[in-house]
Structure 1
């Protein structure tokens, strides 16, 4: 079964690379998996760090995928209004076994109408955006609603990948991949979510993200209005 499974991860300007490389490492650990890094064209895209990513497959050449994954990053703000991206996702979702995302990638799926009436996870700072598209926001690390599987912020990508493998193949296979990766997190601080972070740390991040959050909300409202 695994020899024919096709995975596609969307790459785009200002992607947060860990959103993509976490599930990529998991999916690539499945024997025989066919992996595609998909974008409009075969040209390097700049992530939100110094790392550039070269797509392997253009939209026009992408085969039907079993799993499509949309990572997050500030670049997803512009993707919410990008018809070429949204139409590609709609077309792939029609035949995919699982439609997935990490972090703010769920906002792009929502803008494409692929999460309407469902629940989904996203980065904690973007939780207010999902209801604009008729989506129930979830604070789960990984949220499953039918064949839609969405992960929370950035580091949830590995959890998302393992969950997808468990659903697509079986738990034993997912556990074997987890062991191979020695995915056994033990963070040095308990500040990884708004619920556990010290109040002053949370306030600092909220202030830093205020302008970006306001812009994202405006773009989401415009995208939702356009799609009606």
Structure 2
């Protein structure tokens, strides 16, 4: 079966030939760029090829799917370069043991970004919130990035860096109420957009957030083509994907799991001198 890079994103408004235009987004500087080859009868709209610089931030013990979902979508932006950025180029181990390899460091990541994205986790997220190197990187790149985005508790890291002060934002449901500690305006939603900030809810919301960014940077037809290529049509076997839908028993189990994390997160917010105070 052909993979999505072999199939590509369609050129032309009729979208009749999936293999006509290979994806040309790069994942880091070492990935070769595929040449776009639209079918002659269906020329690719000029706005479908870009030159975006994208940074997905990695750190030890992050939740892998928080960044894998957006990565899939961002690398569907033809012409974009997607950097997997960390403090060093040493492999980063996620909270479930998946090993991710950075393609850039905080020092050599492009200074001016079109998209800055960070995912969440639990213990790893708390450590990232207190990392001077992480905070310096996010404050610098976030001050100029065209889009500043997060998934799950990644919004707490953005908040600790002062990037959500005065912005509506969301997070994982368990951490949602912590956002106001960073001067953000907690807002429920799978995706919350306020000016150039786009924050996603827990874990799988990163797929939605990434797809929304694709639509914002290209157009609806392009984004729907990416969605169809991914066959992103969620039909979960259970209906317990939000606190409102979960049974009291399931909600109780999950609430108990986050007691220590939330206490630690509040303490971290206090120690880091949360930006809403300034």
One fold, TM greater than 0.5?
Answer: yes
1:19–1:71 CA contact under 8 A, matched in 2: yes
Pairing of 1:39-58 with structure 2 (within 5 A): 39-58=86-105
1:142–1:151 CA contact under 8 A, matched in 2: yes
- TM-superposed CA distance for 1:95, in Å, is 2.1
Calculate the TM-score normalised by the size of structure 1.
Answer: 0.96
The size of the alignment, in residue pairs, is 228
Further displaced range: 142-151 or 165-174: 165-174
Counterpart among 57, 63, 73 of residue 26 in structure 1: 73
| Larger relative contact order (Cα-Cα within 8 Å, sequence gap ≥ 6) | 1
SS of match in other structure, 2:97: coil
The answer to whether structure 1 residue 222 and structure 2 residue 239 are counterparts is no
Calculate the TM-score normalised by the size of structure 2.
Answer: 0.79
Supply the RMSD in Å over aligned alpha carbons. Answer: 1.3
| Greater radius of gyration (CA) | 2
The answer to whether structure 1 residue 67 and structure 2 residue 119 are counterparts is no
Deviations 1:185-215 (A, max 9, x none): 0111110111110010000111122112211
Further displaced range: 218-227 or 182-191: 218-227
2:182–2:274 CA contact under 8 A, matched in 1: no
- TM-superposed CA distance for 1:80, in Å, is 1.4
Q: Kindly report structure 1 stretches of 4+ aligned residues shifted beyond 6 Å.
A: none
Pairing of 1:1-228 with structure 2 (within 5 A): 2-63=49-110, 64-74=112-122, 75-225=124-274, 228=278
Mind listing any 5+ residue stretches in structure 1 that lack a counterpart? none
Task: Identify, as 1 or 2, the structure richer in helix.
Answer: 1
Mind listing any 5+ residue stretches in structure 2 that lack a counterpart? 1-46
Query: 2:30 — aligned with what?
Result: none
- CA gap of 1:225–1:108, structure 2 versus 1, over 3 A, is closer
